[in-house]
Amino acid sequence: MLQYVQYALSPVAGFLVKWVDWIEDDKKGKSALKFPIAIAYGLIIGYLISRASFTELFLGAMIAQVFARKIDNIGHVTGIIASVAAIIYFGLPVIALNYFFFFLILAFLDEQDYIGKYRAFTEYRLFLKIGAVLTVLTGRWDYAIAILLFDVGYLLFTEVQKRFIK
């Protein structure tokens, strides 16, 4: 039952991350609402890193964001700090290093700016998604489910924003 709750938190985190992106990018950071939203997504992601079966996916993606220097505004710095605080509170589980480094590299590649025919890899961040789906071949469905659900939330905010938020 707890695993279903953790899966349900993945799209919530995606939705909130995209909301902070929108505030920082489209609204030029001019909303204090970004702070509680960033804290909420940070706590969710930190909890998932600490307790979910897909720890390596979210931890690799979070660290890749830092290495790729994509945490470049106060909203996302707040989210990262909240994630680290949650990880400290809940604890860091044993990590399968093979999966962690796999996702770390793929998430880092997703953050690079490709041009030309490879632009879709940048625009849609396909490396991490494809890699997570490929882990199904090793019997690990949880990674694919978690990243796809995260993206559902991320894309849902985009649709909500287009239709209802100006």
State pLDDT tens for residues 98-124.
999 999 999 999 988 877 777 777 777
Average pLDDT of the residues in 67-90: 96
- The secondary structure of residue 26, as a DSSP letter, is T
On the CB side of 105, CA atoms within 13 Å amount to 7
With bands split at pLDDT 50, 70 and 90, how would you rate the model's confidence at 127?
Answer: very high
Who's near 153: CB < 8 A, 6+ residues apart? 10, 11, 12, 13, 14, 15, 16, 17, 18
Is the pLDDT at 164 greater than 70, yes or no? yes
pLDDT at 7 over 80: yes
For the residues 135-161, what does the mean pLDDT come to? 97
pLDDT the model gives residue 166: 67
On the question of pLDDT at 90 being above 80, the answer is yes
The 3-state DSSP class for residue 68 equals coil
Distance CA 126, CA 166 (A): 28
For the chain, where are the E strands, in sequence order? none
Domain count, the chain: 1
Note the pLDDT of residue 22: 95
DSSP 139: T
Domain of residue 7 covers 2-164
Residue 1's pLDDT band (boundaries 50, 70, 90)?
confident
